[in-house]
Structure 1
């Protein structure tokens, strides 16, 4: 839900950084991007955190 709000409030082309601890985000975030047409620019793991960088679509 927080990601939906961040994307809604962002301008097209903005990069949104997501920092998560839930391993299910490894499945959910890429599907979210694919379904809504946003670009998953980068994802990585550091210690117990999962980082995602999402570019809001131009549409």
Structure 2
């Protein structure tokens, strides 16, 4: 079942208006501050995040629960890996 845009999350990263590599750099810092298993919602407008954020999750072992696009805005829900 897809996540709702209103799904409760532990933290939010709004990277709107930022271009590669800034969204992923900010994501790296934000995920570091999340508790293990925490849920992060990311909002971005850079189309390259469709490639970069899934690769980030695979590389670091986090779970990309959902990604969606709405009128040029890209949404991601990422579950931080348990330590």
Shorter-normalised TM-score: what interval?
over 0.9
Tell me, in whole angstroms, the C-alpha distance in 1 between the residues paired with 2:62 and 2:70. Answer: 23
- Could you tell me which residue of structure 1 aligns to residue 32 of structure 2? 8
TM-score by length of 2: 0.69
TM-score by length of 1: 0.96
- Could you tell me which residue of structure 1 aligns to residue 67 of structure 2? 43
Structure 1 segments, 4+ long, off by >6 Å, are none
Unpaired segments ≥5 residues, structure 2: 1-24
- Could you tell me which residue of structure 2 aligns to residue 20 of structure 1? 44
Task: Choose between structure 1 and 2: higher strand proportion.
Answer: 1
Matched residue pairs, number? Answer: 59
For residue 48 of structure 1, report the CA deviation from its aligned partner.
Answer: 1.2
Unpaired segments ≥5 residues, structure 1: none
